[in-house]
């Protein structure tokens, strides 16, 4: 933004930068720095066998598209209209009532009208009308139809990579029109043309080969777990013996690789390890991790349905190979959208697994009896409810918490009370943010759906502003200093967001809090939390 | 000035004039009183059914409801049985609340900071209210018009008419629904014009049906209260149509034909427009599915096998390193490093 | 009547006009939303300017207030937003100087009065000084953005690896990402 400085006379003309008052169809897209992600690395595109792998730059005039790109777009749309009733119905029934217009975090932050969910969808609908409807063919512009051009494609690309598929608009839509669904279709079409962004394509390529987005190989994964074991021993005096790739374990545990490799998710990973150790010591439950299925997250979901399925297949395959009873899933947002709403359909039936039952409490997880995968906050909430954990919440007394509902578990699942119950059981100071910013109305972190890159920082800060604003409110009114969440993208994105808008607030996963409170059998007196910060009343011991 | 609504307004006025002039000057009563209404009805029915069948032809590959409340999970956590249904009954309730009460539009809560940081909440539901009035008034008006097509008029219709006319003023008695419809449609139009963000997204195809309905309402109100159309003749005409023995009473005027033509246009236009939301709302997979995605396996009819990176391929690539790190493997390495394991 | 008193009396109108001048820099669709949506959580941008300009006005007319830190703190929430929206630096802080025009227009004929014109000159100098502070704040925000860009995921990942003593393993994973510049 700073490098397109104006000349003095332009500057004067621009003192009032009132944007053009032209209709949206007549306002061509301007791709701005800080608002888009870099184009995908051709190596990653080729590794997945996607078409049109080449170097390209979104700022260039020429996107090096295949010569028949319009035909590809048309065929891509036709195929998806035939496959997805959602897409077809959502193309037809919008009445443009405007209920969604001011519900998108990107619009609220940027004021860019094309970030209104209705208009974001109209970008595609306008082309749909012209190519697939009688009214559009007959009446053109009057029916809201327009021709597919390179400018339109660029506009699509820019704005469908400014949607985090959070589904907040869908909550307010009288017909349940879900922009996420439309964005998903648009991104599938981009992949047919080789127009992905690197922040998605490279993790997908990595995940395909090494089992996780970061491309971490099995031995490094094990080293990292070993390091956690050392750290936990320093803090608690207890030596853990976690299982990796263990055949015959009771449960397979899968979490996003971000929890294992990126702060502050690493503390959440330590939390899982301590919980599993406690359950093994007390109740003999064996939980294994896997290096092959070492990624719960699924950037394939941001690529195409097919890619999502390709990456997700590892979960059931590994559960089958290891011969576990059922699968437990860690804290992650879109991972859970995929598991809850797609996995069983795509890669099931999981008839080689048992219907999940907690061997400790005897609770049958009826809601997961077909997919056979349980969310860890469902599992832990059940343990706490039955008094099976030995907890000392005072070890979290230095924290004043609020809880950020991640988009996917709240609007694609309805996992609202479980994490709250866990947090309230392990912490004494908890305050909710205002009601229209939590639960099904939660605001996105602004970095979901593969947009948590570095180069689009302005976009992320703008998109996350409504969330940060609500955090700031509870920080100012209740002294909140810690933001809890159950999503690995949140744990990667929110610290950055907080650093810009509310630097006094840190970010944590829920199971880090659980582990802080959890008394391990045979532990020494705990003087620090998992981050090595002295506990309240223990500061003096350091000196 | 905006070409979208000007064009729509002009179109509706022209349509009305075509019917008026067509019947009063050219004498095309047969066309506007018999042919076009029949055609419009056929287009409406065939178009509507075709559109719905077309939607139904595309499968729902995944169970992806938008969940707007607590899921059903552990028995001691109360679940939102309507906003996040887990049973067919719950889905029916959710759809009913959505269709009959516009649940989602009602969701707009609005917070306000009052002095200091104290929060308060306000009612901000004009869109919801106007939409509700509009649809219910329209519904009542349509049902009320059934009396033109039924002989004898069934009792419930008479009751409806007396409820509608509860104000008991004027002669003929004022029926609330017609005026409510007109008021709501005018509100919805003004909202489109005066709220910039809504004006920005509005197409000609958003204004056109509003003007069409406005035209229908205004001409209807004129006939009933001002020109006092000959109801007996009108009923003769409509009964003729419904019994397939069309007649064209001389005493039916141009205003009626204008009204009747606009209704015909609305019917014929319906299947090709956003008005199909009437059918679509029932078909929306984010609303009409129960959130039982993990409980009951949903079948995708076009689910096809994909290329995956198997564990065997993975182990083949990393076997040495895995063995070195003490990770269990399926196949021992071929040579050399095997003693390093254990 | 001195300028000070007059400004205090007219605070509500002046701040309102100033607010609208700021909001005018957004597209028509957005400005109506920023201006009319009163919910501070549904419309954090509107809230920041509503509260920020009112506070800034108080600082402006309080000639005792010369602490750049406090003035900067008042400007910060507004500049912080504009620093990540699509504005040039000049546009991002230009709204401060809009107040001069608003002020002159509001004073109208009273401008001719010698008492007023002197006081007005001093006030305009204060606006200029505030503008310089705003520039500092703007740069601080931009530098933060660049720092965050540099720090982002890679840095955090690197930290986690470093803690684990695995730094030597990193080139493999990182080579994939080296085309970022």
Does residue B150 sit in the same domain as residue B250? yes
Which pLDDT tens digit goes with each residue over B130-182?
899 999 999 999 998 998 988 888 888 888 888 888 776 766 778 889 999 99
Residue C171's pLDDT band, with cuts at 50, 70 and 90, is very low
Topology (CATH) of C3-175: Globin-like (1.10.490)
Question: What's the CA gap between B237 and B9, in Å, rounded?
Answer: 29
pLDDT at C159: 64
- Say if CB A105 and CB A463 are below 8 A apart: yes
Residue A4's pLDDT band, with cuts at 50, 70 and 90, is low
Q: Which residue of A has its CA nearest to C168?
A: A220
* Rg (chain B; Cα; Å): 30
Question: What's the CA gap between C155 and B38, in Å, rounded?
Answer: 71
Q: Which residues of A touch B102 (CB under 8 A)?
A: 174
Q: Could you identify the residue written with the tokens 């009112």? A: C54
Establish whether the linkage from the previous residue to A349 is cis, with ω within 30° of 0.
yes
- On whether residue B101 sits in a domain, the answer given is yes
Of the listed ranges A29-43, B78-92, B261-275, C111-125, the one predicted with least confidence: C111-125
- On whether residue B114 sits in a domain, the answer given is yes
pLDDT at C31: 81
- Say if CB A290 and CB A299 are below 8 A apart: no
Question: What's the CA gap between B185 and B135, in Å, rounded?
Answer: 10
pLDDT at A282: 95
- On whether residue B305 sits in a domain, the answer given is no
pLDDT at B110: 61
Which pLDDT tens digit goes with each residue over C62-88?
888 888 899 999 999 999 999 999 888
Beta-carbon neighbour count of residue A49 at 10 Å?
10
Q: Which of residues 295-334 of B touch A (CB under 8 A)?
A: 295-300, 302-303, 306-311, 314-315, 317-318, 321-322, 324-328
Chain B contact for A70 (CB, 8 A cutoff): no
Higher pLDDT pick, A143 / A74: A74
From residue B213, alpha-carbon distances to A112, A477, B2 in Å are 33, 51, 20
Chain B contact for C43 (CB, 8 A cutoff): no
User: Is the Cβ pair C145, A461 closer than 8 Å?
Assistant: yes
pLDDT at A522: 93
Indicate whether A70 pLDDT > 80: yes
Burial state string for B228-237 with b = 16 or more CB within 10 A and e = fewer than 16 = ebbeebbbbb
Backbone angles phi, psi at A280, to 5 degrees: -70, -45
User: Is the Cβ pair A2, C88 closer than 8 Å?
Assistant: yes
pLDDT at B154: 87
Rounded mean pLDDT of chain A? 92
Chain B contact for C47 (CB, 8 A cutoff): yes
pLDDT at B340: 45
Cα A79 to the chain's mean position, in Å? 27
- On whether residue B293 sits in a domain, the answer given is no
Indicate whether A474 pLDDT > 90: yes
Residue C180's pLDDT band, with cuts at 50, 70 and 90, is very low
Q: How many residues does chain A have?
A: 543
Which pLDDT tens digit goes with each residue over C34-63?
888 888 888 899 989 999 999 999 999 888
Q: What is the distance in angstroms between the Cα of C166 and the nearest Cα belonging to chain A?
A: 8
| CA quadruple A70, A73, A75, A81: dihedral sign | negative
Residue C177's pLDDT band, with cuts at 50, 70 and 90, is very low
Indicate whether A90 pLDDT > 50: yes
From residue A330, alpha-carbon distances to A73, A518, B290 in Å are 37, 18, 24
Which chains are adjacent to chain C, needing at least 3 Cβ pairs under 8 Å? A, B
pLDDT at C33: 83
Indicate whether A84 pLDDT > 90: yes
Q: Could you identify the residue written with the tokens 């028509």? A: C28
- On whether residue B306 sits in a domain, the answer given is no
Does residue B65 sit in the same domain as residue B7? yes
Cα A402 to the chain's mean position, in Å? 19
Q: Which residue of A has its CA nearest to C141?
A: A500
- Say if CB A458 and CB C145 are below 8 A apart: yes
Which pLDDT tens digit goes with each residue over A372-418?
999 999 999 999 999 999 999 999 999 999 999 999 999 999 999 99
Does residue B261 sit in the same domain as residue B330? no
- On whether residue B303 sits in a domain, the answer given is no
From residue A93, alpha-carbon distances to A85, A404, B125, B157, C49 in Å are 12, 32, 22, 31, 37
Burial class (CB in 10 A: 0-12, 13-18, 19+), A358: buried
Task: Quote the longest CA-to-CA distance of chain A.
Answer: 82
Which pLDDT tens digit goes with each residue over A267-276?
999 999 999 9
Backbone angles phi, psi at C42, to 5 degrees: -80, -20
Question: What's the CA gap between A193 and A190, in Å, rounded?
Answer: 5
Share of chain B above pLDDT 90, in %: 63
From residue A507, alpha-carbon distances to A358, A384, A497, A499 in Å are 29, 23, 10, 10
Q: What would the mean pLDDT of A11-22 be, rounded to a whole number? A: 52
Beta-carbon neighbour count of residue B72 at 10 Å?
22
Domain boundaries, chain A: 22-196, 204-534
Domain boundaries, chain C: 3-175
Q: Which of residues 171-200 of A touch B (CB under 8 A)?
A: 171-178, 181
Q: What would the mean pLDDT of A95-112 be, rounded to a whole number? A: 90
Give me the domain span that covers residue B263: 3-283
pLDDT at A213: 83
* Rg (chain A; Cα; Å): 24
Chain B contact for A234 (CB, 8 A cutoff): no
Rounded mean pLDDT of chain C? 82
Residue B102 Rama label (left phi>0; alpha psi -120 to 50; beta): left
Does residue B175 sit in the same domain as residue B321? no
- On whether residue B183 sits in a domain, the answer given is yes
Question: What's the CA gap between A512 and A486, in Å, rounded?
Answer: 11
Beta-carbon neighbour count of residue C11 at 10 Å?
13
Does residue B323 sit in the same domain as residue B221? no
User: Is the Cβ pair A18, C25 closer than 8 Å?
Assistant: yes
User: Is the Cβ pair B200, C38 closer than 8 Å?
Assistant: no
Name the most confidently modeled range: A365-369, B155-159, C25-29.
A365-369
For residue A2, give every residue at least 6 positions away whose Cβ sits within 8 Å of its Cβ, in sequence order, or none.
C88, C89, C142
- Say if CB A368 and CB A374 are below 8 A apart: yes
Q: What is the dihedral of CA A468, A474, A475, A476, to 10 degrees?
A: 110
B29: domain CATH number is 1.20.950.20
pLDDT at A495: 94
Long-range contacts of A416-419 (CB under 8 A, 24+ apart): A416/A440, A416/B69, A416/B70, A416/B71, A417/A381, A417/B70, A417/B77, A418/A375, A418/A377, A418/A378, A418/A381, A418/B73, A418/B74, A418/B77, A419/A377, A419/A381, A419/A484, A419/A486, A419/A510
Does residue B336 sit in the same domain as residue B251? no
Which pLDDT tens digit goes with each residue over A222-253?
999 999 999 999 999 999 999 999 999 999 99
User: Is the Cβ pair A93, B73 closer than 8 Å?
Assistant: no
Which chains are adjacent to chain A, needing at least 3 Cβ pairs under 8 Å? B, C
Does residue B274 sit in the same domain as residue B315? no
Q: What is the DSSP string of A194-243?
A: T--BHHHHHHHHHHHHHSSTT---HHHHHHHHHHHHHHHHHHHS-----E
Which pLDDT tens digit goes with each residue over B54-73?
999 999 999 999 999 999 99
Question: What's the CA gap between B72 and B79, in Å, rounded?
Answer: 5
Does residue B316 sit in the same domain as residue B201? no
Q: Which of residues 135-164 of C touch A (CB under 8 A)?
A: 141-142, 144-145, 148-154, 156-157, 159-161, 163-164
What is the SS3 assignment for A439? helix
Beta-carbon neighbour count of residue B15 at 10 Å?
18
Number of domains in chain B: 2
pLDDT at A491: 94
Q: What would the mean pLDDT of A459-478 be, rounded to a whole number? A: 95
Nearest to B286 among A96, A178, A365 (CB): A178
Does residue B83 sit in the same domain as residue B121? yes
Q: Could you identify the residue written with the tokens 């009445």? A: A95
Indicate whether A508 pLDDT > 80: yes
Closest Cα to residue A181, out of A342, A28, A42, A69? A342
Question: What's the CA gap between A507 and A184, in Å, rounded?
Answer: 29
pLDDT at B124: 59
User: Is the Cβ pair B71, A410 closer than 8 Å?
Assistant: no
Indicate whether A292 pLDDT > 60: yes
CA-angle at B244, arms to B241 and B249, nearest 5°: 45
Does residue B120 sit in the same domain as residue B168? yes
Question: What's the CA gap between C28 and C31, in Å, rounded?
Answer: 5
pLDDT at B259: 94
Q: Could you identify the residue written with the tokens 């390209």? A: A56
Chain A contact for B108 (CB, 8 A cutoff): yes
pLDDT at B171: 65
* Tens of pLDDT, residue by residue, chain B (342 residues): 577 888 899 999 999 999 999 998 888 889 999 999 999 999 999 999 999 999 999 999 999 999 999 999 999 999 999 999 999 999 999 999 999 999 988 887 665 555 544 555 555 578 888 899 999 999 999 998 998 988 888 888 888 888 888 776 766 778 889 999 999 999 999 988 888 778 888 999 999 999 999 999 999 999 988 888 888 899 999 999 999 998 888 888 889 999 999 999 999 999 999 999 999 999 999 999 999 999 999 999 999 999 999 999 999 999 999 999 999 999 988 765 444 443
CA-angle at C20, arms to C14 and C21, nearest 5°: 90
């Amino acid at each position: 933004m700073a490098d397109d400085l104006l000349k003095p006379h332009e500057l004067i003309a621009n003192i009032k930068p009132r944007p053009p008052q032209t209709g949206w169809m007549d306002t061509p897209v301007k791709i701005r720095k800080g608002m888009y992600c870099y184009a995908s690395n051709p190596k990653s595109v080729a590794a997945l066998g996607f078409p049109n792998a080449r170097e390209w730059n979104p700022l260039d005039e020429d996107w090096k598209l295949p010569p028949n790109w319009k035909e590809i777009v048309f065929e891509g749309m036709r195929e998806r209209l035939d496959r997805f009733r959602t897409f077809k119905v959502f193309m037809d029934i919008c009445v443009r009532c405007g209920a969604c217009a001011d519900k998108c975090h990107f619009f609220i932050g940027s004021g860019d009208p094309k970030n209104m969910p209705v208009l974001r969808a109209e970008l595609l609908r306008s082309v749909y009308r012209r190519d697939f409807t009688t009214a559009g063919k007959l009446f053109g512009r009057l029916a809201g139809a327009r021709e597919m051009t390179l400018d339109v494609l660029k506009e699509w690309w820019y704005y469908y990579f400014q949607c985090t598929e959070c589904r907040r608009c869908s909550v307010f839509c009288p017909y349940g029109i879900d922009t996420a669904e439309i964005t998903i279709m648009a991104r599938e079409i981009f992949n047919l043309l080789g127009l992905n962004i690197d922040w998605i394509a490279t993790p997908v390529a990595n995940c395909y080969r090494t089992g996780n987005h970061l491309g971490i190989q099995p031995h490094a994964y094990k080293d990292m777990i070993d390091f956690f074991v050392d750290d936990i021993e320093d803090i608690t005096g207890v030596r853990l013996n976690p299982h990796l790739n263990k055949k015959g374990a009771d449960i397979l545990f899968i979490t996003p690789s971000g929890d294992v490799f990126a702060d502050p998710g690493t503390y959440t990973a330590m939390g899982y390890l301590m919980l599993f150790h406690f359950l093994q010591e007390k109740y003999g439950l064996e939980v294994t991790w896997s290096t092959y299925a070492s990624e719960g997250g699924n950037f394939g979901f941001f690529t195409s349905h097919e890619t999502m399925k390709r990456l997700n297949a590892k979960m059931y395959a590994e559960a089958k190979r290891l011969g576990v009873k059922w699968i437990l899933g860690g804290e992650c947002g879109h991972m859970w959208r995929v598991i809850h709403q797609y996995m069983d359909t795509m890669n099931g039936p999981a008839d080689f697994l048992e219907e999940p039952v907690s061997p400790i409490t005897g609770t049958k997880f009826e809601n997961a009896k077909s997919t056979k995968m349980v969310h860890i906050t469902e599992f832990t909430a059940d343990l706490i409810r039955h008094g099976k954990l030995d907890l000392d919440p005072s070890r979290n007394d230095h924290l004043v918490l609020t809880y950020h509902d991640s988009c996917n578990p709240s609007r694609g699942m309805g996992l609202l009370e479980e994490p709250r119950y866990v947090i309230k059981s392990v912490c004494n100071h908890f305050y909710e943010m205002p009601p229209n910013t939590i639960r099904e109305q939660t605001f996105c972190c602004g970095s979901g759906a593969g947009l948590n890159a570095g180069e689009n920082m302005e976009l992320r800060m703008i998109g996350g502003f409504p969330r940060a604003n609500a955090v700031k409110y509870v920080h100012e009114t209740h002294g909140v200093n810690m933001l809890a969440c159950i999503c690995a993208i949140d744990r990667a994105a929110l610290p950055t967001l907080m650093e810009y808008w509310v630097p006094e607030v840190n970010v944590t996963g829920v199971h880090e809090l659980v582990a802080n409170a959890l008394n391990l059998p045979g532990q020494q007196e705990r003087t620090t939390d998992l981050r090595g910060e002295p506990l309240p009343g223990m500061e003096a011991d350091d000196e | 000035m905006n070409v979208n609504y000007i064009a729509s307004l002009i179109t509706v006025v022209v349509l009305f004039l075509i019917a008026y002039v067509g019947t009063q000057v050219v004498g095309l009563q047969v066309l506007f009183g018999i042919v076009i209404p029949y055609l419009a009805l056929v287009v409406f029915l065939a178009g509507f059914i075709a559109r719905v069948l077309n939607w139904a032809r595309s499968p729902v590959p995944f169970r992806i409801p938008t969940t707007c409340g607590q899921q059903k999970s552990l028995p001691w956590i109360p679940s939102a049985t309507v906003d996040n249904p887990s049973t067919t009954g719950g889905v029916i309730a959710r759809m009913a609340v959505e269709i009959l009460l516009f649940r989602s539009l009602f969701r707009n809560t609005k917070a306000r900071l009052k002095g200091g940081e104290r929060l308060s909440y306000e009612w901000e539901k004009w869109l919801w209210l106007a939409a509700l009035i509009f649809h219910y008034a329209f519904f009542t008006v349509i049902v009320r018009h059934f009396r033109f097509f039924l002989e004898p008029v069934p009792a419930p219709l008479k009751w409806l008419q007396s409820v509608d006319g509860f104000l008991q003023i004027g002669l003929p008695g004022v029926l609330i629904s017609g005026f409510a419809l007109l008021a709501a449609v005018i509100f919805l139009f003004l909202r489109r014009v005066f709220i910039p963000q809504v004006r920005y997204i509005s197409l000609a195809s958003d204004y056109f049906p509003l003007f069409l309905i406005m035209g229908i309402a205004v001409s209807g109100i004129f006939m009933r209260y001002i020109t006092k159309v000959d109801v007996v003749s009108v009923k003769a005409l409509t009964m003729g149509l419904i019994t397939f023995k069309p007649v064209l009473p001389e005493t039916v005027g141009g205003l009626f034909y204008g009204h009747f033509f606009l209704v015909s246009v609305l019917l014929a236009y319906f299947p090709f427009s956003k008005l199909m939301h009437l059918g679509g709302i029932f078909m929306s997979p984010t609303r009409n599915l129960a959130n039982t995605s993990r409980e009951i396996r949903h079948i995708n009819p076009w689910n096809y096998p994909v290329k995956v990176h198997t564990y065997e391929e993975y182990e083949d690539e990393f076997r040495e390193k895995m063995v070195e790190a003490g990770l269990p493997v399926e196949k021992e390495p071929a040579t050399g490093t095997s003693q390093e394991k254990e | 009547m001195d300028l000070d008193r007059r400004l205090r009396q007219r605070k509500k109108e002046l701040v309102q006009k100033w607010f609208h001048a700021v909001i005018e820099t957004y597209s028509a669709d957005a400005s109506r939303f920023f201006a009319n949506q009163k919910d501070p959580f549904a419309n954090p941008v509107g809230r920041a300017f509503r509260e920020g300009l009112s506070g800034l006005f108080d600082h402006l007319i309080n000639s005792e207030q010369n602490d750049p830190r406090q003035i900067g703190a008042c400007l910060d929430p507004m500049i912080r937003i504009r620093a990540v929206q699509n504005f040039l630096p000049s546009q991002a802080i230009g709204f401060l100087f809009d107040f001069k025009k608003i002020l002159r227009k509001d004073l109208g004929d009273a401008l001719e009065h010698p008492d007023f014109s002197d006081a007005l000159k001093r006030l305009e100098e204060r606006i200029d000084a505030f503008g310089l502070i705003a520039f500092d704040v703007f740069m601080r925000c931009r530098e933060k953005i660049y720092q965050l860009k540099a720090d982002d995921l890679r840095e955090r990942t690197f930290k986690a690896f470093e803690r684990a003593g695995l730094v030597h393993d990193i080139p493999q994973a990182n080579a994939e990402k080296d085309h970022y510049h």
